[in-house]
Amino acid sequence: MAVTTIRGQQVKDGDIGREDLNTTTGGRAVVRKVIAGSNLTISSTGADSGTGDVTINSPIQIFKKTGITLLASSWVSATPDYYTYSDTDIKNSTTIVDFVPDNDSIQDVIDAFIYPMMTSATGTVTFYCDVKPVNDITGHLIIINY
């Protein structure tokens, strides 16, 4: 008996169920259903959650701020010395902030012994060092809110 060929126009929406989908053959497998993991939410247009057109939503926000200058004159003398930088994208104390100095500021970072650990609060991040920098330090911030 000859093989029956079915063209795409003959298959109607709803004719193929999850049990008909290939999820095991490399290069031909498809997604049957999307299930939200920890800290993720999904919205979908199908009859069941995770089917149809699915949008995956994450509470994590990532910002890259370029052209940041830590002014040498703005460091506060203390033990250790510190510098507070303000930015409205820093949401709270769980915000992760990373500063990446520009290549021409690396020696100033080394000379000041700027700590890799910073503390964040709503709207600010505080940098710490052992020796107040002599020159302004330039770089960019990576801000991660979750």
| pLDDT reported for residue 26 | 84
Quick one: pLDDT band at residue 132, thresholds 50, 70, 90?
A: very high
As annotated, the residues of the chain forming the CATH 2.60.40 domain(s) are 61-145
Question: Would you tell me how many other CB atoms lie within 10 Å of the CB of residue 76?
Answer: 11
Q: Which two tokens stand for residue 101?
A: 């100095």
d(Cα 128, Cα 65) in Å, to the nearest integer?
19
Is the predicted pLDDT of residue 1 greater than 80, yes or no?
no
Calculate the dihedral angle through the C-alpha atoms of 129, 130, 135, 137, rounding to the nearest 10 degrees. Answer: -20
First to last CA, the chain: 60
Lowest-confidence region among 47-56, 76-85, 108-117: 47-56
Q: What is the mean pLDDT of residues 22-43?
A: 84
d(Cα 26, Cα 123) in Å, to the nearest integer?
48
- What is the C-alpha R_g of the chain? 26
| pLDDT reported for residue 109 | 96
Quick one: pLDDT band at residue 37, thresholds 50, 70, 90?
A: confident
- Per the model's pLDDT, the better-predicted residue between 98 and 24 turns out to be 98
Is the predicted pLDDT of residue 50 greater than 70, yes or no?
yes
Q: What are the pLDDT digits (tens) for 69-95?
A: 999 999 999 889 999 998 888 888 888
| pLDDT reported for residue 129 | 94
Share of the chain above pLDDT 90, in %: 46
Lowest-confidence region among 11-20, 75-84, 97-106: 11-20
Distances (CA, A) of 31 to 8, 9, 17: 19, 22, 12
Angle, alpha carbons 18-23-24 (nearest 5°): 145
CB 137 within 8 A of CB 108: yes
Mean pLDDT of the chain: 88
d(Cα 144, Cα 92) in Å, to the nearest integer?
10
Angle, alpha carbons 37-42-43 (nearest 5°): 165
d(Cα 86, Cα 56) in Å, to the nearest integer?
31
Q: What is the mean pLDDT of residues 37-56?
A: 85
* CATH class name, domain 61-145: mainly beta
